[in-house]
Amino acid sequence: MTDKAALDHTTEGREDDRPALDIACINPKCRRAALVSTSGNHCQVWRGTRKRRFRSGAESYTEFVVKYPLDRYSNADARILANQYFQLRDALGDIVPEAVFAMSCINGEPNLFVLARAVNVWFNIANPLNREEAVGLLRDHPIARAQLGVFVRQARRWRQGPNPRVIDLYGLDNLVMDNQRQIRFVDSFYVFFFEDMLHMLGGEHDYELEEKITVSLRRLSYLEEILALSATSGSD
C-alpha cells in the first residue's frame, strides 16, 4: 500500500464501512465518514475528509470530525456547551481545535452536533504511564512545553477563580500531542466539572462527579510535574 493509499484508508475508511451521516444540514458530499471513537461519555466521533478542487486543477483536503451526541440536547443545552467551549478556546487558543456547534435534524430528530477540525493524535500526554517518554518529548519540543505551560496555568486559574471549575482530564484522550508535536485539547461536550454541583441534586452527594474531579485534579498535578521535570537537563 502506498503512503497516500494508507492515509486515505486511515482517514476515510473503506467505502463499504463508511456509513452516511444522517445530519440534515451537512452537505451530502461530506456525509460519508468512518466511526473512530465510541468510548466518550457524551458522544461518538466520526471522521471524514472533504476534497476541494480549484480551477487551477490543484486539490486540497480538509479532515474533520463530527461528534454525534449520545443524549438529546435542547437549544438551551447547546448554548451552555458552546459557551463553555468558547471560554476554553478564548483562553487556550490553538490548543483547542476549531469547532462549530449546531442544531439540526439528526436521524429524524432535532439535536446538537459538533463539527471540528480533526487532530492526528500521536501521543497521550496526560497518561501517567507515559511519564518518562512525556518528559523527554517536552524537552525535545519547546513549543509543546510552552503550550502545556499555558494549559496548566489556565487550568489552575479556573480552579482558583470565581465560579471554580475543573477542566475535564478524566477522559484520558482529552489532552494529547498531535503528529506535529503540539499539544491539543480535543474534548467538546461538558469540558468543565463544577464542584458546586456535588450537592445540588436533591442534597445527595454526587460520587461519580467527585471521582471525575478527583482524577482530573490528580492528572493536572501530574502535568505540572512532567512540565517541571522537562525544564531540567536530561543529565540532572
Q: Are residues 31 and 12 in the same domain?
A: yes
159 contact partners, CB below 8 Å, separation of at least 6:
165, 166, 217, 220
CB 148, CB 203: distance < 8 Å? no
* Residue 127 predicted with pLDDT over 80: yes
pLDDT level of residue 226 (50, 70, 90 thresholds)? very high
Domain end call among 75, 96, 117: 117
Q: Please check whether residue 236 lies inside any domain of the structure.
A: no
52 lies in which domain range?
A: 3-117
> Which is nearest to 20 in space by CA: 42, 44, 48, 39?
48
Q: Are residues 101 and 125 in the same domain?
A: no
Q: Are residues 22 and 98 in the same domain?
A: yes
pLDDT at residue 15 in the model: 46
What is the tens place of the pLDDT at every residue in 48-93? 887 777 777 777 777 888 998 888 999 999 999 999 999 999 999 9
The C-alpha R_g of the chain, in whole angstroms, comes to 19
pTM, two decimals, is 0.83
pLDDT at residue 205 in the model: 76
pLDDT at residue 19 in the model: 60
In 77-97, which positions are buried (b, 16+ CB within 10 angstroms) versus exposed (e)? bbeebbebbeebbebbeebbb
Domain end call among 117, 149, 167: 117
> Which is nearest to 193 in space by CA: 157, 221, 167, 162?
167
Q: Are residues 10 and 81 in the same domain?
A: yes
When the pLDDT of each residue in the chain is averaged and rounded to a whole number, the result is: 84
* Residue 3 predicted with pLDDT over 50: no
Q: Are residues 21 and 33 in the same domain?
A: yes
Q: Are residues 166 and 190 in the same domain?
A: yes
